[in-house]
């Protein structure tokens, strides 16, 4: 029983690791406008023109 409960605790651990990896992966693919990308991410323009 104790071993089973201990094993069960790994389930949320795996879930959390998967969630963190998923969020980090999303960070590589921002879904934003061109203006947003240029000003906030690439810093290729110096003025926000939202």
Partner 1 sequence: MKKTGRRTGENIKTAATVFLIFVLSRLLLTFVACAYNYMTQGYAKTWDLLYKFDALWYVDIAENGYQSVPNSVTGYANYAFYPFYPIVLRFMKCILPDRFTTNQIGVIVSNLCTLIAGYVAVQTVRRKYAEDKGYFIAFLIFFAPHTIYFSMTYTEAMFLMFTALFFYCCGRKHFFLASVAAFFAAFTRIAGVFLVFSLLLFQYEAEYGWSVSRSKLSGFIKGIFARPLRLLGLLICPLGIFGYFYYLYRLVGDVWASAHIQVAWHNSYGSVLRTLFYNLLDSGSGTSSQYWALYAIFGITMFAYLCYKKEFAAAIFGFLAVGISLRTDAIAIARYIMGNFSVYIALYELLRNRQQAKTVVMSTSIIVTGLMYYMWFAGECYFIF
Q: Tell me which residues touch partner 1 (CB under 8 A).
A: 6-7, 9-10, 12-13, 16-17, 19-20, 23-24, 26-27, 30-32, 36, 39-41, 43, 48, 50
Q: Shortest approach of partner 1 to residue 6 CB, angstroms? A: 6
Q: Is 36 exposed, middle or buried (0-12, 13-18, 19+ CB in 10 A)?
A: middle
Cα(30)–Cα(50) distance, rounded to whole angstroms?
17
The nearest distance, CB 8 to partner 1, in angstroms, is: 8
Alpha-carbon distance of 39 to 5, in angstroms, equals 50
CB of 1 to partner 1, least distance (A): 15
């Amino acid at each position: 029983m104790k071993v089973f409960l201990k094993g069960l605790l790994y389930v949320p651990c795996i879930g959390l690791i998967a969630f963190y990896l998923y969020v980090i992966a999303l960070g590589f693919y921002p879904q934003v406008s061109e203006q947003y990308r240029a000003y906030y991410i690439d810093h290729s323009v110096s003025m926000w023109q939202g």
